[in-house]
Amino acid sequence: MDRAGKRVLFWCLVVVQAVASYVIIWTWGPTYVRLITNGTLATYPRQFAISLAAIAVMQAAYWPAHAIKHELDFRSNVLLGHVLLCLGEFSLFFAAAVTTVVLFDHFREQPRIPWKLGVLALSLFAISCFKYQLMSVGEKLIDHRPQAAEP
C-alpha cells in the first residue's frame, strides 16, 4: 500500500475509534447521571454487551493505526495538532469520571462482580489507547520534523 493509502487508512481507523468512544459515552451516560444525581447504580446487561463490542472495535482499530502511524510523515498543522491534544484529553475525561465515581463513591453499595470491574477496566484501557493516539499525532503535527528521505 502506498503512503496515500496508508494515510487514508490511518485516519479512517482513528474515526472508527472516535465513534466507538462516543458509543461508550452514550451507553454509560445515563448510568453516570443516575450515579451523581440520586446515587443509585443501576446497570443493564445491554450496557455491558455494547461496551464490550465498542471496546473490541476500538482495539481492532487502534493497533493497526498505531503501527501505521510510525510509517507516516505528518505535515505541520499546529491548529489541528492542538485540537487533537484537546480531544485526547476530553476523550479520557468521561471514562475516568465514571471509573472514579463507581470505584470510590459506590464501591460498598453492592457486591462488585469481577467481570463488571473488568469491563470498566477494559473501557478505561481502550479509551486511554485512543487518547494516546490522538495526543501522539497531535504532538507530531505541532512539532513537525520531516522524516529523512530513504536512499
Confidence at residue 146, expressed as pLDDT on a 0 to 100 scale: 63
Cα–chain-centroid distance for residue 48? 17
Confidence at residue 41, expressed as pLDDT on a 0 to 100 scale: 63
Using the predicted structure, report yes or no on whether residue 58 has a pLDDT greater than 90: yes
Q: Structurally, how many domains does the chain consist of?
A: 1
Domain encompassing residue 87: 3-142
| Confidence band of 75 (pLDDT split at 50, 70, 90) | confident
Task: State the angle between helix axes of 114-142 and 45-69 in degrees (0 to 180), rounded to the nearest 10.
Answer: 30
Q: Which residue in the block uniquely carries the three cell numbers 486511554?
A: 128
Do residues 54 and 124 lie in contact, with contact meaning Cβ atoms separated by under 8 Å?
no
Cα–chain-centroid distance for residue 67? 17
Percent of the chain with pLDDT over 70: 83
pLDDT tens figures, 89-98:
988 888 888 7
Confidence at residue 60, expressed as pLDDT on a 0 to 100 scale: 97
Confidence at residue 135, expressed as pLDDT on a 0 to 100 scale: 94
| Confidence band of 19 (pLDDT split at 50, 70, 90) | very high
Q: How far apart are CA 106 and CA 96, in angstroms?
A: 15
Cβ atoms within 10 Å, residue 145: 9
Using the predicted structure, report yes or no on whether residue 39 has a pLDDT greater than 80: no
Q: How far apart are CA 67 and CA 84, in angstroms?
A: 19
Confidence at residue 36, expressed as pLDDT on a 0 to 100 scale: 66
Answer whether residue 151 is part of any domain.
no
The H-assigned helical ranges of 38-113 are 45-69, 78-100
Amino acid at 146: P
Do residues 69 and 137 lie in contact, with contact meaning Cβ atoms separated by under 8 Å?
yes
